[in-house]
Amino acid sequence: MASKTANNGKNVLISINPATLEVLGEIPMKTPQEVKEAVRGADRAFDGWAGLGVAERGRYLLKVRDYLLEHVDAYCDVISKENGKPRLEALSAELFLVTDLITYYVKRAPELLKDRPISLHNPIFKATKSSKLVYEPLGVMAVVSPWNYPFAIPMSGILFSLLAGNTVLFKPASDTAMIGLKIDEALNKGAGLPEGVFTTIIASGRAMGTALFEPPVRKVIFTGSTDVGKKINAICAKNLIPTVMELGGKDPMVVCEDADLELASRGAVWGAFMNCGQVCASIERVYVARPIYDRFVELCVEKTKALRVGQDLDHEVDIGPLANEEQLGIVEAHIRDALEKGARILTGGKRIQGLQGYFWEPTILVDVNHTMDCMTEETFGPTLPIMPFDSEDEAVRLANDSVFGLTASVWTKDPAKGDAIARRLQGGTVTVNDHAYTYGVCETPWQGMKESGIGRSHSDAGLMEMVFPKHVNTDHSLGFMKRRMWWYPYSSAAYEVQKMAFNAFVHAKAFPKFLLSVATRKDYRKTLY
């Protein structure tokens, strides 16, 4: 995606098909004034949208789901053309995930968001007070999304925000702005949301400025690179605006000696090359028990050579192009660095001749180590570096040797061993005998640790990121107590009674003595009643 100034003086984005480099369309960009008005519009719309209640908001979202089901082929086509992924991946990893999330959480949200009583253990408070949590929407939310999963990732934050009662400003990635407009279509045309509830902002960085990261925006949901996430987080911090950040990954795969090699090699090839490796949860490094290392590598090479790379025209392609030229350059640089430091390529390793777009051969690297960028920095491309280990302790140490902590996987026939190793690996999600797929399971959390993120998306926890749990406490002693026992006036009698209360709450057998004291000390009772 590139930007330019059109003849009418308006800036536009030019959408490029990464498989053919042909122009897909031109998209007008908002001016700074239009961005500011969009923010004000979302703020004005908040009270009305929040006031509808979760059930009514859910009915709007079911219209979004039904619109997507009616136009599923059109959505898969535009995702494939602008992002490059095969249509089957657009269907399974983008459209299906979103429709499932809507169906499940429209039913579940009323239970999650209803007022929740808090049981008070203190006998005095229990007798006269009640507490509850009231889950309130935050206000205006900013959802800033990446280009690798340009439909499913932003829709997760958008749908949870809307369901919770917030209004949303959506900034799609420049490389996939047309897909961003399709999201806008589903929500505003398909569901007919009230004006200002959901607004898509396609603008240059200069035009947008910091408008999405300062009041009246109340929370930012960002998915993208760690470097950009840190910059956005710093801007938000100046205004004490909280964030949810799903950032980079360098996700390890640990293959134990007793693993099913056929299963593990299939999982490695899919986990490394799905979406052309442009997945924060891609398998980016593999550690294999030395006794099975050679056979595992052999099976991976065999399966990688069978992959079909190209533009998806007839559903006969497994891997599409990289999404943009910049990412292709990173892949090339990581491979060059590895080769200079002693790595070997067993298959792939270069651009595909005869194809115009950003195509790169799926690549397997061996003789790799942690001095190489391909083992320490996020590649985000179709590479699979494989390294042997001599003990499970070494495998865990190598897997955890990273600033990232998004996902990891363990492969073994022994469930107990898999669980034990999974508990030692540093990641927001660790799977046993599979990898990465849990982003498609809407009731499980998606989260990172270390430099892989802050907060959670998906799952009940993801919905609760979109609300503020306000505590409401009510006193029920009106009419028979004229003050609370911790109020003025202070006195020696009050001090002695409070000492007895202190002991009574620690030792239950002392509580009757405390009650007797309150009942018999007239000098104290008369101040209470």
Spatial CB neighbours of 364, under 8 Å, sequence gap ≥ 6 = 297, 300, 301, 304, 345, 346, 347, 348, 383, 384, 385, 386
Q: Tell me the C-alpha distance between 472 and 129, whole Å.
A: 11
With beta carbons less than 8 A apart as the criterion, state whether 474 and 175 touch.
no
Q: What angle do CA 30, 33, 39 make, to 5 degrees?
A: 85
Active-site annotation holds for 246: yes
Widest CA span of the chain, in angstroms? 98
From 246, 284, 361, 392, the catalytic residue: 246
Strand (E) or helix (H) holding 517: helix 511-520
Q: Tell me the C-alpha distance between 84 and 18, whole Å.
A: 6
CA-based nearest residue to 111, from 139, 138, 137, 135: 135
CA-based nearest residue to 256, from 429, 49, 421: 421
Q: Please count the other Cβ atoms lying within 10 Å of the Cβ belonging to residue 529.
A: 8
With beta carbons less than 8 A apart as the criterion, state whether 239 and 344 touch.
no
With beta carbons less than 8 A apart as the criterion, state whether 101 and 442 touch.
yes
42-75 burial by CB neighbour count: b if 16+ within 10 A, else e? bbebbeebbeeebeebbebbebbbebbeebeeeb
- Owner of token pair 């996902």: 407
Query: Structure tokens of 113?
Result: 């968001």
β-pairing verdict for 363-366 and 344-347: antiparallel
Amino acid at the residue 220: V
With beta carbons less than 8 A apart as the criterion, state whether 248 and 451 touch.
yes
Strand (E) or helix (H) holding 253: strand 251-255
β-pairing verdict for 251-255 and 456-457: unpaired
CA-based nearest residue to 114, from 439, 476, 460: 460
Task: Kindly state the DSSP code that residue 485 receives in the 8-state scheme.
Answer: T
Query: Structure tokens of 352?
Result: 């595909």
From 236, 280, 374, 442, the catalytic residue: 280
The stretches of 274-414 forming alpha helices (DSSP H) are 290-305, 325-340, 373-376, 392-400
Active site residues: 246, 280
